[in-house]
Amino acid sequence: MKQQKSPAPDYSWFDHSRYGMFIHWGAYSVAARGEWARNRERIPADEYSRLYAENFHAENYNPASWAALAREAGMGYMVITTRHHDGFALWPTRTGDFHAGRIGPKRDLLKPFVEAARAAGLKVGFYYSPADWRHPDYPGPWFRDWPGVNDWQSNEARARMIAYYREQLVELMTGYGKIDYLWYDGCIPSDLASPEINAEMLRLQPGMLINERNGAPWHVRISEQAINPPKEWGIRWEACMTLNDNWGWHAGDMNWKSAREVVKMLCETAAGGGNLLLNVGPRPDGTIPEESARILREAGAWMRRNGAAIHGCGRSPFTWNNWGRVTVNGNLVYLHIRNSTGRELCWAELKNKVIAARWLADGAPVVFEQKGERLFLRDLPVPLPDPISSTIELVVEGTPEPLTCQTTFWIPGEPAS
């Protein structure tokens, strides 16, 4: 009998969306001091359970409104913390009793999440932390960084930890329909048998993406709180960023990024051919802080005008300049102008002939002239039409190429030869 070849996995949704919502939500949201509260404050397990898990009620939880916000923001997927380091599972896991089915909300929080995401046409990502501060076999609840390989109490302890996280993952991968993205977090000593576990999860969810944090096989490299495209071209990657300085809800953290900063991050990740996974930390009742929602909506309005210059963009060979960022898609080149250069802008990086130039938001033509190596855009309005970032679309002949490749900085790196 001939062996059936399974079709090549299709990751185009990830490359197209370029923008997703990260959601940190759990018992720690009750503490309102970020998701590391238990570890940082060395809170005993029973106290954590009594004060936080038991007071986590999710009483206004409406994942359809999260999904609607993600859509309005221009995002293509959502990734939720199914279980963070504190060990509190958002679903009724059979592996223990520290979960939302028994304590706090007393129901499965993941099922409605997945349904809401699907109904809104969003892809579903599950964040999962193999590290578990509560598990007796985890090397210890107070580690700040990765515990070392020698921090296991015994090989048996390690084996039990592997069996435990495998079982939880199997529940996640078999109980909720199609999962598009398994988003591992770290803080685990190697090795957690990741090659076997990841291969098994891929058998359960063929075509799913896995991030790099639990070893091979993986598909997505992560850049955390920084926008660093991999040095090598052709690697799928994602920058995960907070909207203030915390992942989990922190009532005292007011250090919000502006919509303008969000758009800047979007342009930078898209210019690097990567995705932006932008975080919200809902309050324990399930509502997203107004400030987060406002910023996402404002950036979302920009995305409605200029999303074509983000969605599906490949890695740009163009480097930095003094006015903004450049993204590319096929023979289209997008100039995202953040800093006005007055009535005229000169860009001297493009090798190709320009066929047309227009404002992306309304299609109005832009006067341009190519003089040798320099492209001049003329009669630009002052101030720029969009205070967040004004995008000009260039139609060029052939595949966009730079006059010279920049090789000394990582921005945006060197095309692989």
Which residues of this protein are in contact with ligand GLC, per CB under 6 A? 35-36, 185, 224, 240, 247
Closer to ligand GLC at the Cβ: 142 or 409?
142
Smallest gap from residue 223 Cβ to ligand GLC (A): 10
Closer to ligand GLC at the Cβ: 90 or 360?
90
Q: In this structure, what are the phi and psi dihedrals at residue 168, rounded to the nearest 5 degrees? A: -60, -45
What whole-number distance in Å separates Cα of residue 371 and Cα of residue 308?
28
Closer to ligand GLC at the Cβ: 26 or 324?
26
Smallest gap from residue 211 Cβ to ligand GLC (A): 9
Smallest gap from residue 186 Cβ to ligand GLC (A): 6
Cα–Cα distance list, 251 to 35, 245, 277 (Å): 12, 11, 22
Smallest gap from residue 35 Cβ to ligand GLC (A): 5
Smallest gap from residue 406 Cβ to ligand GLC (A): 29
Per DSSP bridges, beta strands 390-396 and 354-359 are: antiparallel
Q: In this structure, what are the phi and psi dihedrals at residue 133, rounded to the nearest 5 degrees? A: -65, -20
What whole-number distance in Å separates Cα of residue 186 and Cα of residue 66?
26
Give me the residues paired with residue 314 across strands: 328
The H or E element spanning position 298 is helix 290-306
Per DSSP bridges, beta strands 367-371 and 77-83 are: unpaired
Closer to ligand GLC at the Cβ: 35 or 268?
35
Closer to ligand GLC at the Cβ: 141 or 324?
141
Residue 285 near residue 59, CB atoms below 8 Å: yes
Angle at 356 between CA 350 and CA 361, to 5 degrees: 100
Smallest gap from residue 247 Cβ to ligand GLC (A): 5
Smallest gap from residue 239 Cβ to ligand GLC (A): 10
Closer to ligand GLC at the Cβ: 52 or 302?
52
The H or E element spanning position 269 is helix 259-271
What whole-number distance in Å separates Cα of residue 350 and Cα of residue 312?
21
Closer to ligand GLC at the Cβ: 35 or 108?
35
In sign, the C-alpha dihedral spanning 42, 80, 58, 169 is negative
What whole-number distance in Å separates Cα of residue 170 and Cα of residue 94?
11
Closer to ligand GLC at the Cβ: 98 or 184?
184
Which runs of consecutive H residues, i.e. helices, occur in 83-207? 110-119, 155-174, 194-204
Q: What is the DSSP letter of 117?
A: H
Which string of DSSP letters, residue by residue, matches 18-57? -EEEEE--STHHHHTB-TTHHHHTT--HHHHHHHTGGG--
For residue 328, give both structure tokens.
């590319």
Closer to ligand GLC at the Cβ: 239 or 377?
239
Residue 328 near residue 334, CB atoms below 8 Å: yes
Smallest gap from residue 222 Cβ to ligand GLC (A): 7
Closer to ligand GLC at the Cβ: 247 or 302?
247
Closer to ligand GLC at the Cβ: 183 or 359?
183
Residue 263 near residue 225, CB atoms below 8 Å: no
Smallest gap from residue 326 Cβ to ligand GLC (A): 28
What whole-number distance in Å separates Cα of residue 381 and Cα of residue 389?
13
Smallest gap from residue 246 Cβ to ligand GLC (A): 9
Smallest gap from residue 202 Cβ to ligand GLC (A): 22
Pick left, alpha or beta for residue 342 (phi over 0 → left; psi -120 to 50 → alpha; otherwise beta). left
